[in-house]
Amino acid sequence: MSLTREEVLSVAKLARLEFNEEEIQRFQADLNNILDYIDVLGEINTDNVEPLVQVNESGVKLREDVIRKSLTAEEAMKNAPASQDGALIVPKVVGE
């Protein structure tokens, strides 16, 4: 499997990343080396193997649904790049 320049750009778009020309070439080469490396998995027959999603398969652990202390709006906003009156501020998107 080898990624073309267009495929690299398409994956970057999905990942919400952008690259300059030099980076595109470098990432294309790196990604193809990594894909070559992981392609070895194709050697193994896994037809009747169940995928392992979580190693501890004891099922979902639930706890009582009780109200506890949580962060205040002020605390939650503490690291926000821009906020006002308990709300996050982002660029205007209406009408786009």
Partner 1 sequence: MKKIYELTAFEIKEKIANKELTSEEVVTAIFDRIEETDGEIGSFVSLRKDKALAEARIIDEKVKNGEQLGALAGIPVAIKDNMVSIGEPSQSASKILEGYEGIYDATVVQKLKDAGAIIIGKTNMDEFAMGSTTTTSIYEKTTKNPWDLERVPGGSSGGAATSVAAEQCFISLGSDTGGSIRQPASFCGVVGLKPTYGRISRYGLMAFSSSLDQIGPFTKTVKDSALALNILAGSDDYDSTVEDVEVPNYLDYLTGDIKGMKIGVPKEYFIEGLNSGVKKVVDEALEVFKSLGAEIVEISLPHTKYAAPTYYVLAPAEASSNLARFDGVRYGHRTKNPKNIDELYTKSRSEGFGDEVKRRIMIGTYVLSAGFFDAYFKKAQKVRRLIKNDFDRAFEQVDIIFTPVTPGPAFRLDAKKTPVELYLEDIFTIPANLAGIPGISIPAGETDGLPVGIQLLGRAFGEKDILKAGDAFEKAIKERV
Report the Cα 8 to chain-centroid distance in Å: 16
For residues 74 and 83, give the distance between their C-alpha atoms in angstroms, rounded to a whole number. Answer: 10
Least distance from C-beta 86 to partner 1, angstroms?
13
Least distance from C-beta 85 to partner 1, angstroms?
16
Half-sphere exposure of 13 (CA within 13 A, CB side): 6
- Residue 44, interface with partner 1 (CB under 8 A)? yes
- Residue 67, interface with partner 1 (CB under 8 A)? no
- Residue 96, interface with partner 1 (CB under 8 A)? yes
Who's near 82: CB < 8 A, 6+ residues apart?
Answer: 88, 89, 90
Residues at the contact surface with partner 1, assessed by CB under 8 A: 3, 8, 11-12, 14-19, 27, 30-31, 33-35, 37-42, 44, 46, 49-56, 58, 60-63, 71, 75-76, 78-82, 88, 90-93, 96
